[in-house]
A and B are shown apart, each in its own frame.
Chain A
Amino acid sequence: QQPVQSPQAVILREGEDAVINCSSSKALYSVHWYRQKHGEAPVFLMILLKGGEQKGHDKISASFNEKKQQSSLYLTASQLSYSGTYFCGTDWTGANNLFFGTGTRLTVIP
Chain B
Amino acid sequence: NAGVTQTPKFQVLKTGQSMTLQCAQDMNHEYMSWYRQDPGMGLRLIHYSVGAGITDQGEVPNGYNVSRSTTEDFPLRLLSAAPSQTSVYFCASSPAPWVALYDTQYFGPGTRLTVL
B11 on interface, CB distance cutoff 8 Å: no
Q: Which residues of A contact B102 (CB under 8 A)?
A: 47, 49, 53, 55
Is there an interface contact between B99 and A95, defined as CB atoms closer than 8 Å?
A: no
**B34 → chain A closest CB, angstroms:** 11
* B72-116 to A contact mask, C-beta < 8 Å, 1/0: 000000000000000000100010111100111111111000000
Task: Kindly state the interface size class of chain A when it binds its partner.
Answer: 20 to 34
Asked, given contacts A47-B102, A96-B98, whether A102 binds B41 with beta carbons under 8 Å apart, the answer is: yes
B45 on interface, CB distance cutoff 8 Å: yes
Name the CB-closest residue of B to A1. B59
Chain B residues proximal to chain A, CB less than 8 Å: 31, 33, 35, 40-45, 48, 50, 58-59, 90, 94, 96-99, 102-110
**B67 → chain A closest CB, angstroms:** 18
Asked, given contacts A30-B99, A41-B90, whether A98 binds B105 with beta carbons under 8 Å apart, the answer is: yes
How long is the Cα–Cα vector from A53 to B103 in the complex, in angstroms? 13
Is there an interface contact between A97 and B48, defined as CB atoms closer than 8 Å?
A: yes
Q: Can you list the 7 inter-chain pairs with the closest CB atoms, starting with the nearest?
A: A41-B107, A100-B43, A96-B31, A102-B42, A100-B42, A44-B104, A32-B104
| Highest count of chain A CB atoms <10 Å: which of B43, B59, B94, B98 | B43
Contact partner, B99, options A29, A89, A99, Cβ 8 Å:
A29
Residues 32-78 of A contacting B (Cβ, < 8 Å) = 32, 40-44, 47, 49-50, 53, 55
